[in-house]
Amino acid sequence: MIELNWTFFVQMINFLILMFILERILYRPILKVLDERDKKIETGQERAKDLLDKSEYMLKDYKERISDAKVEALEIKNSAMREAEEEANRVINDGRKKAEEILEQIRADAERQVEAARKELESEVGSIASSIVNQVLGREVAQ
Amino acid sequence: MEHPILLLDFINHPLVRFLEKHFGLTDPNHLYHVTYMWFYMLLLIGISLFAARGLKLVPGRFQNFLEVAVGGLRDTVRNTMGDEGMRFFSLIATLFIFILIANLGDIIPGMYSPTANINTNASMALIVFLLTHIVGIKVHGIKYVKQFVGPIWIMAPLMIPIELIGHLARPLSLTVRLFGNIFGEDLVLFILLLLAPFLIPMPMLALMIFTALIQAFVFTLLAMMYISGAMEEAH
């Protein structure tokens, strides 16, 4: 058992054969698979990182666009309100002006009528006065 | 020590008789280490063929187990020897896997450890020894001799014998350590079984599993250290 003999060489050849066969059918395929998987995981991680960056960029862009749109909407709203206000003012002013005109016309009409009435009355003042005097005095009085 | 009945006796007995009759070759151990090494070779090759049939990127259960084993060995080799060490991966991995399986074998009744025979261990240790120096000469060329001379030229006559003995002791220690552990365990188990065959040898069996792992790891680790030591710059 503790002596070296010819089986030493047999065992050496056996071991070398085992080594070469295992290298062919076990180590090489499995190391290849391991390397392939490492590479795949690495590229996958890189891709995931790229996509994440892209999505972050897109989110930022989207947010920017939303805030832009908000500003624009606010502007549109403001200008619409301003226009509406102007329109309202214009309508109110127009109405007021028209009302004043009508009032003026009515006032003028009234004045004219008063004037006409006064003239008419003034023309009748003499006769009315003499008729009153006649009534009071009971006689004709020369005018 | 006479062996109890072993599973491969049906191959061994005709083989021993055949070799003795036609070639005059005899072996005091009745060739058990050779036939059992064939057995473990076939076992490992069969497992590998079964596993390598359908290797997928997303592994199944069995493939996952083998990947953990081979991947763990790869990481160990990388950590110990660096990326250059991957050139010797098949040697290191085969050493570990074969020694582990062979060491574990003799726990099963009817089986036998090829590593309990000094010829098996010496052949593996000699492969490591030769490879160490081949790699050293390949990497450093003639400068590799410097490793044996020591740091100071004047000390060379003293250092060269010391270094030579040191280097020659490596395969010897690799061989005898593994052989001693496994053979000793076999012997202890055998004696325990003779003394008290029921339940008493069980702690010994547990210890044998542990030793099998440790010895496979130590042999492999030392092989890695020797080879990477030869690749390193001489100091």
Shortest CB distance from B71 goes to which of A5, A15, A34?
A34
- Indicate yes or no: CB of A15 within 8 angstroms of CB of B127: yes
Q: What is the pLDDT along chain B (235 residues), one digit of tens a residue?
A: 455 677 777 777 777 777 777 776 776 667 778 888 888 888 888 888 887 777 776 777 777 888 888 888 888 888 888 788 788 888 888 899 899 988 888 888 778 888 888 888 888 899 999 988 888 888 888 777 777 777 777 777 888 888 889 888 988 998 889 888 888 888 888 888 888 878 877 888 888 899 889 999 999 999 988 888 888 765 4
CA distance B181 to B142: 38
Q: What angle do CA B224, A15, A23 make, to 5 degrees?
A: 70
CA distance A3 to A5: 6
Give residue B4's pLDDT.
65
Measured between beta carbons, the chain B residues lying within 8 angstroms of A37 are 57
Shortest CB distance from A14 goes to which of B25, B37, B71?
B37
Q: Which residues have a Cβ under 8 Å from the Cβ of B114 and sit 6 or more positions away?
A: A11, B32, B33, B34, B36, B37, B40, B102, B105, B120
Give residue B158's pLDDT.
81
On the question of pLDDT at A132 being above 60, the answer is yes
For residue B60, how far is the Cα from the chain centroid?
Answer: 30
Q: At what angle do helices B61-81 and B202-231 cross, to 10 degrees?
A: 50
SS3 call for B212: helix
Shortest CB distance from A4 goes to which of B41, B49, B122?
B122
Segment 33-52 of chain A within 8 Å of chain B by CB = 33-34, 36-37, 40
Task: Kindly write down the DSSP assignment for every residue of B102-160, as one continuous string.
Answer: HHHHTTSTT---GGGSHHHHHHHHHHHHHHHHHHHHHHHGGGGGHHHH-SSGGGHHHHH
- Indicate yes or no: CB of B117 within 8 angstroms of CB of A16: no
SS3 call for B17: helix
The domain in which residue B174 lies consists of 4-231
Measured between beta carbons, the chain B residues lying within 8 angstroms of A35 are none
CA-atom Rg of chain A in angstroms:
59
Output the CA–CA distances (angstroms, integers) from residue A90 to A68, A93, A98, A101, in the order listed: 33, 5, 12, 16
Average the pLDDT over A32-50 and give the result. Answer: 90
Measured between beta carbons, the chain A residues lying within 8 angstroms of B94 are 15, 18-19, 22-23
Give residue B235's pLDDT.
47
Q: Pseudo-torsion of CA B154, B233, B172, A6, nearest 10°?
A: -110
Output the CA–CA distances (angstroms, integers) from residue B102 to B33, B112, B178, B188, in the order listed: 10, 8, 11, 18
Q: Are B77 and B88 in contact (CB under 8 A)?
A: yes
Asked if B92 is an interface residue toward chain A (Cβ–Cβ < 8 A), one would say no
Helices (H), A3-27: 7-22
Find the farthest-apart pair of alpha carbons in chain B and give their distance in angstroms, rounded.
Answer: 64
Output the CA–CA distances (angstroms, integers) from residue A2 to A77, B7, B37, in the order listed: 103, 23, 18
Q: How many CB pairs under 8 A join A and B?
A: 117
Q: How far is A7 from chain B (nearest CA, A)?
A: 6
Give residue A84's pLDDT.
95
- Indicate yes or no: CB of B51 within 8 angstroms of CB of A33: no
Instruction: Tell me which residue of B168, B169, B147 sits closest to B159, measured CA to CA.
Output: B147
Asked if B52 is an interface residue toward chain A (Cβ–Cβ < 8 A), one would say yes
Higher pLDDT, A129 or B2: A129
Give residue B44's pLDDT.
87
SS3 call for A7: helix
What total number of domains does chain B contain? 1
Give residue B105's pLDDT.
83
Output the CA–CA distances (angstroms, integers) from residue B23 to A5, A11, B15, B20, in the order listed: 14, 18, 11, 6
DSSP B85: G
Q: Kindly report which listed range (A23-27, A51-55, A60-64) carries the lowest average pLDDT score.
A: A23-27
Dump pLDDT digits (tens) for A3-37: 778 778 888 888 888 888 888 888 888 888 888 88
Average the pLDDT over A96-124 and give the result. Answer: 92
In this structure, how many other beta carbons lie within 10 angstroms of the beta carbon of residue B37? 27
Dump pLDDT digits (tens) for A66-85: 999 999 999 999 999 999 99
